[in-house]
C-alpha cells in the first residue's frame, strides 16, 4: 500500500499587520523633567514600536492650571498645542475622557513635585490608572497613608513604579527589591544620594574655591533647585533614605530621619533672593570644616541606613556631613555622581556598589521612560 504525504500549505504572517499593544499615557507636569520626558517618548516612538511591539501614545498633557487631550496622541508640536488649546480641567474630566474613548492600559505619569497631586493617586488607581512617578512625596507620606496606597493598588491590581525617586536613572530600587524579596538580608545602605550635594562637596573639597562660588556654579548647571536651600537642608536626601528604608519593610517616618541641615539658622527663613545675596556668609564656616580635616580626607554628605534592619522598627536613618578618606569609595566620587553601597550578609565586607549620574533633568526623564517601558511590557 502506498501512502501519499502532502506538504502543508505555506503560512505567511504579515508581521506589520499584527496589532501592537497600545499604551495610553496622561502626563502630569511638563516642566524641566516632564518636558524632556515627552520629547524622549516622541523621539523614540518608532524605535519602541519596532523593538517592543508597543504603541505608546501620550493622550493627555497637564500642569496645575491646564490640560490638552487627544485620543490619537500628540506630536512634536505639543508645546504649541498646549499653549494654544490648553484648558482648565478637573481630574474627573480626565477620567471621563478616557472612559468616553474606551482607552485601556492607562498610565498616569507624575513629573510634579506637588504634595497636593499625590493625593489623587488612589482616585486614579480606582479609575483604571497605573502610576509612574518621579515625585518622592507619595512614598514619604505618613506610614498609614503609605500603606493605604499599597492596599488600594493591590485591591485594584494596579502597578506603581518610582525608580527615579532615588538615584535618578540608576537601577537602585529594583536591585534592592530583588535582593530583599529573594531573602538576601540587607544589613546596611550607605552613600551619597544627592547629585547636587555630590557636585558641591566634590568640587569644594579640591580646596581652591569658596563654598559660595561652588554653590553658584551648581545652580548655573541646573544641579540644584532654584532655591538651593531645598538641597542644603538635607530634606531631599532624607526622603530618599526613607524610601529605601520602607523598601525593606521598615516602619519609619520622615521625622525618624536624623538630618544635619547645612544652612545656618539665620539664613533658613529669609527669602530666596536674600539668601543668595548672603551666600558668602557660608564661606568661612565651610572653609574651617575643610581645613580641620585630617590630611588626605574630603567632605561628603552621606546618608546611612543601619541598625537591626530585620526588625520593623530597628533601622537608624542618618544624613550628615562627614569627612572620609580620599582613597575610599565615597572619597573617590567625582562630578555630580551619586553612589550607593549595599551591604548584605553575603556582601558584608565588599558591598554591592551602584554609581552613576545623580543630577540632571535628562537623566531623570530617561529613568521615568524606563519605568514606563517596564510597566508597559507587564500590561
Cell of 46: 518608532
Please count the other Cβ atoms lying within 10 Å of the Cβ belonging to residue 261. Answer: 14
Exposure on the CB side of residue 116, measured as CA atoms within 13 A: 5
Overall residue count recorded for the chain in this entry: 379
Distance of alpha carbon 376 from alpha carbon 330, whole angstroms? 36
* Cβ neighbours around 195 below 10 Å, total: 25
Whether residue 240 lies in the annotated active site: yes
Q: What is the crossing angle of helices 78-85 and 32-52, to 10°?
A: 130
Strand runs labelled E in 260-313? 297-307
Rounded Cα distance, 352 and 340, in Å: 8
Backbone angles phi, psi at 142, to 5 degrees: -50, 145
Distances (CA, A) of 24 to 44, 46, 176, 379: 15, 16, 29, 11
What is the distance between the alpha carbons of residues 75 and 78, in angstroms, rounded to a whole number?
6
The answer to whether the Cα torsion of 160, 145, 170, 35 is positive or negative is positive
Q: 3-state DSSP call for residue 152? A: helix
In 10 A of CB 70, how many CB atoms?
A: 17
In Å, the largest CA–CA distance within the chain is 104
136 closest CA partner among 116, 160, 166: 166
Calpha distance 233→212 (Å, rounded): 15
Question: Which position among 88, 155, 240, 311 bears the catalytic label?
Answer: 240
312 within 8 A of 250, measured Cβ to Cβ = yes
CB-based contact 352:344 (threshold 8 Å): yes
Q: Which residues are catalytic?
A: 240
Amino acid at each position: 500500500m502506498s501512502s501519499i504525504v502532502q506538504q502543508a500549505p505555506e503560512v505567511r504572517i504579515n508581521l506589520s499587520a499584527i496589532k501592537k499593544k497600545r499604551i495610553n499615557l496622561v502626563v502630569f507636569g511638563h516642566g524641566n523633567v516632564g518636558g524632556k520626558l515627552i520629547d524622549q517618548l516622541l523621539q523614540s516612538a518608532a524605535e519602541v514600536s519596532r523593538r517592543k511591539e508597543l504603541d505608546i501614545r501620550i493622550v493627555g498633557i497637564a500642569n496645575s492650571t491646564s490640560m490638552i487631550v487627544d485620543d490619537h496622541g500628540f506630536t512634536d508640536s505639543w508645546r504649541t498645542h498646549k499653549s494654544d488649546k490648553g484648558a482648565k480641567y478637573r481630574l474627573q474630566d480626565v477620567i471621563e475622557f478616557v472612559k468616553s474613548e474606551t482607552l485601556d492600559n492607562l498610565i498616569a505619569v507624575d513629573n510634579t513635585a506637588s504634595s497636593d497631586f499625590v493625593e489623587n493617586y488612589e482616585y486614579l488607581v480606582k479609575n483604571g490608572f497605573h502610576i509612574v512617578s518621579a515625585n518622592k512625596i507619595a512614598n514619604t507620606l505618613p506610614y498609614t497613608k503609605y500603606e493605604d496606597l499599597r492596599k488600594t493598588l493591590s485591591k485594584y491590581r494596579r502597578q506603581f513604579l518610582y525608580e527615579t525617586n532615588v538615584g535618578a536613572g540608576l537601577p537602585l530600587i529594583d536591585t534592592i527589591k530583588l535582593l530583599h524579596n529573594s531573602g538576601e538580608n540587607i544589613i546596611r545602605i550607605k552613600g551619597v544620594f544627592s547629585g547636587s550635594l555630590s557636585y558641591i562637596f566634590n568640587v569644594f573639597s579640591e580646596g581652591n574655591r569658596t563654598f559660595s562660588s561652588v554653590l553658584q556654579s551648581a545652580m548655573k548647571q541646573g544641579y540644584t533647585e532654584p532655591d538651593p536651600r531645598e538641597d542644603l537642608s538635607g530634606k531631599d536626601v532624607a526622603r530618599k533614605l526613607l524610601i529605601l528604608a520602607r523598601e525593606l519593610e521598615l516602619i519609619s517616618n520622615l521625622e525618624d530621619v536624623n538630618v544635619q541641615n547645612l544652612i545656618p539658622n539665620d539664613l533658613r527663613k529669609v527669602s530666596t533672593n536674600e539668601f543668595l545675596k548672603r551666600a558668602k556668609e557660608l564661606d568661612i564656616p565651610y572653609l574651617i570644616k575643610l581645613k580641620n580635616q585630617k590630611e588626605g580626607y574630603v567632605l561628603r554628605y552621606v546618608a546611612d541606613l543601619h541598625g537591626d534592619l530585620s526588625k520593623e522598627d530597628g533601622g537608624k536613618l542618618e544624613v550628615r556631613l562627614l569627612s572620609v578618606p580620599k582613597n575610599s569609595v565615597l572619597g573617590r566620587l567625582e562630578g555630580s555622581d551619586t553612589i550607593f553601597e549595599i551591604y548584605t550578609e553575603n556582601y558584608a565586607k565588599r558591598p554591592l556598589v551602584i554609581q552613576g549620574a545623580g543630577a540632571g533633568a535628562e537623566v531623570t526623564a530617561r529613568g521615568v521612560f524606563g519605568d514606563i517601558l517596564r510597566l508597559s511590557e507587564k500590561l
